[in-house]
Amino acid sequence: MLDVKSLTKRFGSNAAVDNVSFTIDRPMMIGIIGRSGAGKSTFLRIMNRLTDASDGELCFEGRNVLTLTGKDKRDWQSDCAMIFQQFNLVPRMDVVSNVLHGTLGRHSTLTTMFNLYPEAEIHKAIDILDRLGIAEHAAKRAEALSGGQQQRVAIARALMQDPKVILADEPIASLDPMNAQTVMEALRRIHDEDGRMVIANLHTLDTARRYCDRIIGMRDGRVVFDGTPEQLTTGVARDIYGAGADFSEAATSTEIRDHDAVVTEEIRAAEVAL
C-alpha cells in the first residue's frame, strides 16, 4: 500500500532524512518516534509534498507520489491529510469554515472565495465536529477555542478531505495531558472506525506504545527501529534517543495514570528487556 524506497532529503551537506525505506501493506496506525531533528517532521512533509525530497521514491498504491505536479499533486494532497503541531487553522475564521477548507481541493477558487459551499457539505462538516465532540463551537472563531479543541478542528478538517492517509505531525506536543488523550483517542477511533491509515510523529513513548500498531524509530535521519509496540523496550528506546542508562520513561511521561500502574509497566518492560 505504502512503499518507501531509499528516501533522502538533504539540507546543504547534512541529510535530514537519510536513505529511509519501509513498506506498509495495510491501513494501520503507525507511530514515528525519535528525538528532535531526527527527520520525523521532514518525512511527513515530504509525504504530503510540502517539502520536496532530494532522492528516492514514495509509492502509494503503486504510484510514485513524489513526481506528481499541478492538479495531480493537489489531488494527492487532498487524499493525504496533514495535522500539525500548532494546528495551522485560520484563526479569524469560524470553526465550520475551517473544517470546510478540507474540501478546497474539490472546489473552484471562485466558489470558495465567496464562501459558496454546498449545504450538504456544511451538514457533513457539522456532523464531523459532532463526532469529535465540538459541534457546539461550530460558529465560533477558531482562535476562541482551546488548544485541544483547535486540534480537534484540525482533525475535522482532515476528515473533511475524506483522505486515505492522515499524517499527524506531533499532534499532541502543544497540549496538556487531558487534551492529548482526547486527541489521540480521536485519531485511534478514526483509524478503527474508518479504516484510514494514520501516521503520527510522537514525542512520548507511552503514547506511541498505547495507540499505535507499529512503531518506527528514527535517529539522525535513518530508521533504527521498526516493529511492534511490544518490541519497543526501554533498551531499544535508549538506542533511538541516544540516551544513557539514566534514561527513564517515567521521568518524562505525561500520561494520566496511577503511579503504581506506571511502575508495573516499567517492571514489565524490564522483564521483556531481560
Partner 1 sequence: MTDMNATSLDVTRDHYLALTRQRRLYGGLMLLVFVLLLASGFGIANERNAGGFLPGLPQIFDFPAEVVQEAWEKRANMPDHLANAFPALIETINIAAIATLTGGFGAVVLSLLSTRGLAPWPRLIPVFRRIMDLMRAIPEIVTALVLIYVLGGGPVPAAIAIALHTIGALGKLFSEVNENADLKPLEGLASVGATWFQRMVLALLPQVAPNWFSYALLRFEINIRASAILGFVGAGGIGYELKNAISWGQGKFDEAAAVFILLFLSIVFFDQLSSVVRNHLTHGSKKGVSQ
Summarize as ranges the residues that interact with partner 1 (CB under 8 A). Answer: 11, 16, 37, 41-42, 96, 114-116, 119, 122-123, 126, 130, 135-136, 138-139
Burial of 96 (0-12, 13-18, 19+ CB in 10 A): buried
Residue placing its CB nearer to partner 1 in the complex, 152 or 191: 152
| Smallest separation, CB 261 to partner 1 (Å) | 31
Angle between helices 177-194 and 147-160 (to 10 degrees): 20
Residue placing its CB nearer to partner 1 in the complex, 41 or 182: 41
Angle between helices 147-160 and 119-131 (to 10 degrees): 130
Residue placing its CB nearer to partner 1 in the complex, 96 or 175: 96
Residue placing its CB nearer to partner 1 in the complex, 44 or 269: 44
| Smallest separation, CB 5 to partner 1 (Å) | 23
Q: In sequence order, which ranges of 173-258 are alpha helices (DSSP H)?
A: 177-194, 205-211, 234-241, 249-252
Amino acid at 190: I
Edge-to-edge strands of the sheet including 2-11? 14-24, 2-11, 55-60, 63-64
Is the distance from CB of 225 to CB of 216 less than 8 angstroms? yes
| Smallest separation, CB 146 to partner 1 (Å) | 18
Which residues lie below 8 Å from residue 169, measured CB to CB, with a gap of 6+? Answer: 40, 41, 44, 45, 82, 83, 84, 85, 201
| Smallest separation, CB 15 to partner 1 (Å) | 12
| Smallest separation, CB 157 to partner 1 (Å) | 16
Diameter of the chain by CA atoms? 63
Residue placing its CB nearer to partner 1 in the complex, 128 or 240: 128
Residue placing its CB nearer to partner 1 in the complex, 135 or 224: 135
| Smallest separation, CB 7 to partner 1 (Å) | 16
